[in-house]
Structure 1
Amino acid sequence: MTRATITALGQRGEGIVEIDGRRVYVPFTLAGEEVELTVDGERGMLNSVLTPSPERAEPACRYFGTCGGCALQHVSPRDYAAFKRGLVEAALRHAGIETPVGQLVDARGAGRRRATLHARKSGAGYMQARSHDLLNIASCPILVPPLQQEAPRLARLLHAVAGDCDVGFTATATGLDVAVTTPRKLKPEKLVPLAQRPRLARLSLNGDLVLQTRAPAVKMGKALVALPIGSFLQATEAAEEALAGLVIAGLGTAKTVADLFCGVGPFALRIAENAKVFVADSDKPAIAALQKAINHTQGLKPVTAVARDLFRDPLAPVELEPYDAIVFDPPRAGAEAQAREIARSKVKTVIAVSCEPRTFARDAAILITGGYRLESVTPVDQFAWSTHVELVGAFRR
């Protein structure tokens, strides 16, 4: 065993200490703490905290430290907010961008409405920290109340029928959407009895519908959107509202807007209350769901929805010319190809939403080189006690 003092907190939420001239990363520790650890290469396993930091907080979950789902429950609220804001600052600094980063917006709300649990013979839950071994849990406090205990319980029931599987849960306004993924060949009808549970709206197996009692749906602005199987949805309802609010504030008085990588329309449906909107995404079921929501919602400005792969076929400057503003919210890989086309355009306002600060910074550098100014950056926290952070950046030409 080794005694050492933690010097800083790394970007993965692990304490950093130098031992024999090399960095060692120790989970669940804080800067300034004297700890006892076991060293294995650049990894350190915490044995005990000898001198706790005054910023150490009491974990909210009994599984913290064993479960691999949360990394930061031991961090005080003040340092937690600074850490997440720092992730964005570091990404921008690395890309050579000097723009002040706003205060972290707490958008954890009532908890995550989406989760994927692993179901195995040993139980149901998440993988243990730094391990491929399952941690069997009775409940999860970071989830919305309808999922906290029901998700582990239902995952165990599904394992009894489906064997080893992963189970995705989404809590919607009309009930639970449950998606089972397994490599086993399984007759869907074996799952039907489990689909009769009162709060279950839909059950699917490997992307195919097993049974639906009512369409899982979520409210987006004035619209009610029926979710396709496997569609993307912000992890918390509060984050969707916060991100949409920042997007709309950034758009100002824009009357024509292009919403790219639009998904099922969390921004488009709200923007359309005041502006004409063109939307595009490669996810055809998402576009179909968005179009259906548009058709059944009164009081919206015209919305044009198309299925288009913006990675391979980004909108060119001539196609962007009709719009006062652009919104783009790509997956973690970012929107490099589309950003290059936007940088060549004359569109005055661009609002970028991202779940990965590093790819945001790369795309931001492209826009800045093309003549845009990064006016503001706001980090948004929806993944409680994780090392992930969302952000919204507003660019003006």
Structure 2
Amino acid sequence: MSESLTITGLGQKGEGIAQSGDRKIFVPFALPGETVAVEETAERARLVAVETASPDRIEPFCPYFGACGGCQLQHMGPDIYRAFKIGLVETPLRHLGIEAKVERMVEAHGEGRRRATLHARRDAAGYMRLRSHDLLDIAACPILAPGLKRAPAIAHAIGVVVGPCDIGFTATETGIDVVLRPESKDVRADRLVPLANSLGLARLALHKEMVFLAQAPRVSMGRASVELPVGSFLQATAAAEAALADYVIEAVGKAKSVADLFCGVGPFALRLAEKASVFAADSDKPATVALEKAARHAKGLKAVSVRARDLFRDPLTRFELDYDCVVLDPPRAGCEAQVKEIVASKLKRVVMVACDPKTFARDAASLIKGGFSVSNLMAFDQFAWSNHIEIAATFSRTA
């Protein structure tokens, strides 16, 4: 049986919020000001119908929207969408007493996602349904970059041979890189080689082990060309990587020595090295090896020193932070231990890129409490139509 609710706000996942008595109910795909018919399921509800639509509502462009668990915001018009994304950044900061405002939001979806994980069964392939472990079979995904246009078809073909599995795709300049994670432990690598060859893949790995290589997957970063390790991290869109790198280079300014911490395969380090000497560190050893190799073969770069180091357990100490500037690009857990050492050091400038607003706010608050001021706060929307946002900010030590 359905009931009628009035939506009064948005939650941090982009769901509409309604009040029913003393209970707060979350309604996916509903917008503030709308009257909607819902069927309740615990704290969340299923949208049955929009009785009174918001002027901010638009028609989703994907036929799977609403069923697919990948995108949550395709029903939002540009104004409410932008306000929601900026709120993801500003709200956690405000909760910690920081009134910083996003100066600009950069649309960084570009040509689409160059990384994606699809799921496959013998008779279907696609993404999981919203809030479910059930698989939604898809023929195409419009948010993927042109280089991954074939990903759903490839996933279908792999599912027929392998059965239930997760398939990680990366579009590179030399072709499609695939990492296969099957549920069964009995998948034989020799059966995958003719399959990868017939599908025209650049590389296929079974878990972390490469089983097929036609061409080494490569991505250009500034003057360098990086050979990607199996399963390595890469920004979801090429446009976001370029926009974030431009931000970092400008924010670093005329610094002659830079430490790039949580450097990955070097999207910042390799570009920064065109003008400054760079120390780069990350716990991902294959990534640091790839970065070092790319720097060694690139022309026109200043000195690049690379080290595999767990910056969570073993951050650079206050005595090691003898640089003009430090760039931080941590994973979702943030960089609490490293920030503590930065605060205790004499470092004067920090440029931070972050993918989680809450841990970014926590680390920003520590820097500010330690004598830094924040400026040039920006949001980068590479995960378009989802409730994720990338953040960049510059911190300068005040007198």
In 2: Cα distance, 1:258 partner to 1:35 partner: 52
Aligned-residue offset at 1:198: 6.3
In 2: Cα distance, 1:292 partner to 1:82 partner: 42
Q: Which residue of 1 aligns with 2:305?
A: 304
The answer to whether 1:123 aligns with 2:108 is no
Query: Superposition pairs for residues 344-363 of structure 1, below 5 Å?
Result: 344-363=344-363
Query: Superposition pairs for residues 168-317 of structure 1, below 5 Å?
Result: 168-184=168-184, 185-197=186-198, 199-317=200-318
Aligned-residue offset at 1:317: 0.8
Count of aligned pairs between the two proteins: 395
- Deviations along 1:195-245, one digit per CA (max 9) or x if unpaired, are 114641100101100110111010101111000001000000000001111
Aligned-residue offset at 1:39: 1.5
In 2: Cα distance, 1:129 partner to 1:10 partner: 16
- Deviations along 1:160-191, one digit per CA (max 9) or x if unpaired, are 22111000100000000011001312110101
In 1: Cα distance, 2:178 partner to 2:19 partner: 46
- Deviations along 1:95-140, one digit per CA (max 9) or x if unpaired, are 2112121221100000000000000134000011121110000000
In 1: Cα distance, 2:147 partner to 2:285 partner: 30
Q: Which residue of 2 aligns with 1:390?
A: 390
Q: What is the identity, as a one-letter code, of the residue corresponding to 2:88? A: L
The answer to whether 1:368 aligns with 2:362 is no
Q: What is the identity, as a one-letter code, of the residue corresponding to 1:76? A: G
Q: What is the identity, as a one-letter code, of the residue corresponding to 2:55? A: P
In 1: Cα distance, 2:89 partner to 2:10 partner: 15
**Contact kept in structure 1, 2:332 and 2:356, CA below 8 Å:** yes
Q: Which moved more, 1:136-145 or 1:156-165?
A: 156-165
TM-score, normalised on structure 2?
A: 0.98
Aligned-residue offset at 1:348: 1.2
**Contact kept in structure 1, 2:123 and 2:159, CA below 8 Å:** no
**Contact kept in structure 1, 2:104 and 2:377, CA below 8 Å:** no
**Contact kept in structure 1, 2:154 and 2:199, CA below 8 Å:** no
In 2: Cα distance, 1:57 partner to 1:189 partner: 49
In 1: Cα distance, 2:204 partner to 2:42 partner: 45
In 2: Cα distance, 1:280 partner to 1:252 partner: 21
Task: List alignment gaps of at least 5 residues for structure 1.
Answer: none
Q: Which moved more, 1:41-50 or 1:109-118?
A: 41-50
- CA RMSD after TM alignment: 0.9
Aligned-residue offset at 1:383: 0.5
Identity of aligned residues (%): 58
In 1: Cα distance, 2:192 partner to 2:210 partner: 11
The answer to whether 1:378 aligns with 2:394 is no
Q: Which residue of 2 aligns with 1:164?
A: 164
Q: Which residue of 1 aligns with 2:154?
A: 154
Q: What is the identity, as a one-letter code, of the residue corresponding to 2:5? A: A
In 2: Cα distance, 1:270 partner to 1:104 partner: 23
In 2: Cα distance, 1:69 partner to 1:327 partner: 31
In 2: Cα distance, 1:96 partner to 1:123 partner: 48
Q: What is the identity, as a one-letter code, of the residue corresponding to 1:121? A: R
**Contact kept in structure 2, 1:107 and 1:382, CA below 8 Å:** yes
**Contact kept in structure 2, 1:67 and 1:128, CA below 8 Å:** yes
- Deviations along 1:298-335, one digit per CA (max 9) or x if unpaired, are 000100000100000000011002x0000010110000
Q: What is the identity, as a one-letter code, of the residue corresponding to 1:216? A: P
Q: Which moved more, 1:117-126 or 1:65-74?
A: 117-126
Q: Which residue of 1 aligns with 2:97?
A: 96
Q: Which residue of 1 aligns with 2:63?
A: 62
**Contact kept in structure 2, 1:101 and 1:377, CA below 8 Å:** yes
Q: What is the identity, as a one-letter code, of the residue corresponding to 1:134? A: L
**Could you say what secondary structure the match of 2:319 adopts?**
helix
TM-score, normalised on structure 1?
A: 0.98
Aligned-residue offset at 1:264: 0.1
**Could you say what secondary structure the match of 1:161 adopts?**
helix
Aligned-residue offset at 1:41: 2.3
In 2: Cα distance, 1:325 partner to 1:6 partner: 46
**Contact kept in structure 2, 1:122 and 1:134, CA below 8 Å:** no
